[in-house]
Structures are given as structure tokens and as C-alpha cells.
Structure 1
Amino acid sequence: MGCSEQKSEPLPDLPPIEIPADVFGFYSGRLPCDNCNQRVVNMDLFNDGKVMVVESIMKDSVNVDVDTLRGTFVYADSIVKVSLSDNSVRWEFKRDKVGNLAFMKLGDVYHDADGMKAVLIRFYKKIKR
């Protein structure tokens, strides 16, 4: 009875989540690959929320496929969520205390059969003067 007359008030504007400046930058490392021998990823996180990934996939000792993927990322609670190629590729990474990104699978940090994490290491580029 009373629900039909209930008026909803507009939600308050929430402040935007600020991404720490030290999240932006260049990362490189290897990610797991089910259908290949090796997957090397170079990833740039830009301060406008965009990301560019150059992915090299080695299927055998001779054939290497190189792809450039573009998309966006968000950062919250030490998690970097990357969306590439119109949401067809989605990755999540947990940021560690030194700034590297550990690949996550199904909400947990990924470990291979040997117990090793797949980590993208943050590289600091020297600014040319």
C-alpha cells in the first residue's frame, strides 16, 4: 500500500576514486597461456585510465604472434582491472607492496604448477632532459 507512494531521492554524488600516481607506468612479464609455450606481456597504464598491451605469444620455437591491444583500466583496493579489445579480454592484477602486478584468476593470485606467481614487474623509465 505505502510503497506505491514512496518517492526515491537522488543518490548523492560520490567523489571519483583517485588512482595513486605510482600505479601508472610500464609493466612487463609473463602470463599463463593454455595454448602456447610462452606469453610475454608489455603493458602501459596511462594516467587517463587507458591501457596499451603488446602481447607476444610463442606457440613453438619458430612462430611468434605479436598483438597490440588497447583498452581501459580501473584501480581499487590494490586491484587493477584491465579491459581490452572491447571487453573481449579481461585481466585482474593484485598490486604488491613494491608496485608489481600479480595476475589473478578467479579472484585469487594465480600460481602455476610449481607454485610460482605470474607477475608483471614495474619498470621505471628514466626521463630524458
Structure 2
Amino acid sequence: MKYAYALTAMLCGFFVGCSEQKSEPLPDLPPVEIPADVYGFYSGQMPCDYCDRRIVDMDLLSDGTVLAVQTTVKGTAQVDTLRGTFVYADSIVKMDLSDKTVHWDFKRDKVGNLAYMKQGDVFRDADGMKAVMVRFYKKIKK
């Protein structure tokens, strides 16, 4: 019985000693910078289970906002304007649109186009084709 009390006292001392550890503050991390060539106009076709076709035109703006115009065709065409924000890290563009009710992820390829991602992987349809948003480069007028 004496040993049970001693063991209990040792365990309580161990837990109390561990709970008093002070953690060091985390260092300030530099902000993630978005490469300038990510910003721009993109257009492409997105997958759609409930419609015939879904075409999206979107602008990724330098202030981290997105303006997307989505045309959904199911017998007739319906046009929706979606606004939101995006972040870029590790070649992935993550977007939250329409008050965070719509979330899209894209993997940026080596030429700057964006491939739609679903559940963490680049989406491929039944024929193995990717849904790609093509980046359009505008000519600078002199």
C-alpha cells in the first residue's frame, strides 16, 4: 500500500512538472508571395455532373481576389458571377468564392495553366482528360 501512494505521488509530480513547461513563441514567418505570373485571365471548361457543359472565365487579381463568370448549359444557359479570394502555395491555387460556398483548387502546370483538382488530385474525366483553365496572356500596348 505504501508503494501505491509513492507511485501515485511520483506520477502526479511528473504531470505537474510537465504542465509547467513554457513553450517558446513561434518565429515570425515571411509572407507567402504569389508569383506575378499567376495573376491574369483564365478560361476553360470545368466538370459538371448535373449539366451538359460548364464554362468558366476568371480573373485572378493582384490583390488576391477572384472574379469568375460561370456559364452552365443544361438545355438553356445560366450565367453566374462568382467573387472571392485565392491563395497560392506549392503550385496550388485555392479559391473560396460566393461567401465561401464554392471552393475550387487548381494545380498550376509548367506553362502557367491551371488544372482543376478534386479531392487533392488533378481531376480526369472518364476519357482521362484534365479540366484545364488556360491562361491568356495579353499583349502590352506601347
Q: Give the TM-score range, shorter chain.
A: over 0.9
How many aligned positions are there? 127
Helix, strand or coil at the partner of 1:68: strand
Identity %: 72
Other-structure match for 2:18: 3
Other-structure match for 1:36: 51
Q: Which runs of 5+ in 1 are unaligned?
A: none
1:51 and 1:128 mapped to 2: Cα distance?
Answer: 24
Q: Over aligned residues, Cα RMSD in angstroms?
A: 1.0
When Rg is computed on C-alpha atoms for both structures, the one with the higher figure is 2
Helix, strand or coil at the partner of 2:79: strand
Relative to the length of structure 1, the TM-score reads: 0.94
2:122 and 2:19 mapped to 1: Cα distance?
Answer: 47
Helix, strand or coil at the partner of 1:2: helix
Relative to the length of structure 2, the TM-score reads: 0.86
Helix, strand or coil at the partner of 1:22: helix
Shift of 1:2: 1.3
Helix, strand or coil at the partner of 2:135: strand
Residue by residue over 1:42-85, the C-alpha shift from the partner in whole angstroms, topping out at 9 and shown as x without a partner, is 0100111110100000011xx11001000000000000001101
Q: Which of 93, 98, 101 is residue 80 of structure 1 equivalent to?
A: 93
Residue by residue over 1:15-51, the C-alpha shift from the partner in whole angstroms, topping out at 9 and shown as x without a partner, is 0011110000000000001110000000100111110
Q: Which of 65, 70, 77 is residue 50 of structure 1 equivalent to?
A: 65
Q: Which of 9, 15, 26 is residue 30 of structure 2 equivalent to?
A: 15
Moved over 3 A (4+): none
1:46 and 1:95 mapped to 2: Cα distance?
Answer: 16
Structure 1 or 2: larger helix share?
2
